[in-house]
Structure 1
Amino acid sequence: MSSFKLYLVHFIFILLPETRCFALKRVLLRFCGAKIGRNVRINSSAVFSGSGTLEIGDNTWIGPKCFIYTSSNIKIGSDVNMAPCCVVLNGSHVIDFDGPSIAGDGITEDVVIADGCWICTGSTLLGSSVIGRKSIVAACSCTKGEYPDYSLIKGLVAKAIPLKRK
């Protein structure tokens, strides 16, 4: 997708009613290079950024204040419901103990959300997440890795783990 075009489209989205003008929003995202299916409904406060590829299947709902940042490939299937304030991103960094910052070189890993999924409020899907068909990602959960079809994916418990040098 074109980062510059997305930047311009963001300003148009802000002017549109939150839950109206869905056809225009689809056209605008297609103009940026995204593959957008039929009857995709995107709330105006959703933010799209990055220069990777984005594909959204038919009849999908992208809720208010969702943030989708693609630095490689993000594929959201058909009939997906994404609740408010979800984050989907596929960029990260290699851990670098010797550099000036622990966040070393950038890396990207694809994200796939299969058909029929429900991504609940406040969920974060990180790079290399593959959410199986008709699965639920519970509210405020964080994913990384592959999850089978028909799964309830939940949890976010932070704990300190000492870093070990290689």
Structure 2
Amino acid sequence: MKTDLSTFTGEGSPGITAKLKYLVWLLFSNVFFLTNIPYPNVIKVNILRFFGAKIGHHVVIKPWVKIKFPWKLVLGNYVWLGEEAWLDNLSEIRIGNHVCISQGALLITGNHDYKKSSFDLFTQGIDIEDGVWVGAKSIVSGGVKLKSHSVLTVGSFTSKDLASYTINQGNPAQVVKQREIS
């Protein structure tokens, strides 16, 4: 067998209402999020809420943050989304309180089944608990839980859950030490 992308069917064809909703979101996203203009966070938060995101208080969203589907996003209180963070949320991404997603970090919920010739798409959510720090240019894949106060260091990758209060580094990320907070 060989890969045959002509047999790929995707997730199914969304209805016209879903397509229009996504189109309107893309327009707002390009004007208010994918820009250097420092719009106040209250504007960005209210736009995300309008599109169905569940968002807590004191959320900071820096310029160039890319969010695929706001209606599949849950952000707790005091969440920071750094410049160029990309939340590719084909499935739900849930982020707890006091979480920092640093610059250029990628949270990706979709993948392909390389064992099938049709290269089928599958999605799994991401759950990030309170106090987590996802370092700059790090990648978190779908189906992963980053447990309370874990750290994924700069440029690291994880496709596995991270234990609470651990510092994880590398590709694949490995525990390098325990996190101590004073």
TM-score, length-normalised on structure 1?
0.84
Give the fraction of aligned pairs with identical amino acids, expressed as a percent: 25
Q: Which amino acid aligns with 1:87?
A: L
For residue 121 of structure 1, the aligned residue among 128, 132, 136 is: 136
Shift of 1:17: 3.0
For 1:160, the equivalent position in structure 2 comes to none
Whether 1:131 aligns to 2:146 is yes
5+ residue gaps in structure 2?
1-17, 173-182
Counterpart residue type for residue 10 of structure 1 = S
Find out whether 1:17 has 2:37 as its counterpart: yes
Give the CA deviation at 1:4.
2.6
Report the Cα distance in structure 2 between the residues aligned to 1:16 and 1:93, rounded to whole angstroms.
33
Which has the larger share of strand? 1
RMSD of aligned C-alpha atoms? 1.9
2:171 matches 1:156: yes
CA distance in 1, matches of 2:168, 2:130: 15
- Alignment match of 1:6 (pick from 25, 28, 35): 25
Q: Select which of 64, 84, 94 maps to 1:45.
A: 64
Counterpart check, 1:111 vs 2:126? yes
Q: Distance in 2 between matches of 1:44 and 1:51?
A: 16
Between structures 1 and 2, the one with greater helix share:
2
Unaligned runs of 5+ in 1: 158-166
Q: For residues 31-74 of structure 1, give each alpha carbon's deviation from its aligned partner in whole angstroms, at most 9, with x where no partner exists.
A: 11111111101012101114761101011100001111111111
| Residues 1:72 and 2:87 are matched in the alignment | no
How far residue 16 of structure 1 moved from its aligned partner, in angstroms, is: 6.4
**Once the two structures are superposed, what CA deviation does each residue of 1:78-98 show, in whole Å capped at 9, x if it has no partner?**
10011100000100011235x
Deviates more, 1:31-40 or 1:46-55: 46-55
Q: 2: distance between equivalents of 1:59 and 1:76?
A: 10
Residues in 1 aligned to 2:70 and 2:43: alpha-carbon distance in whole angstroms: 21
Shift of 1:113: 0.8
Distance verdict in 2 for CA 1:116–1:61, change over 3 Å: same
CA contact (8 A) 1:5 1:32 kept: no
Structure 2 Cα separation of the partners of residues 50 and 30 of structure 1:
12
Is this contact kept in 2: 1:51–1:71, CA < 8 A? no
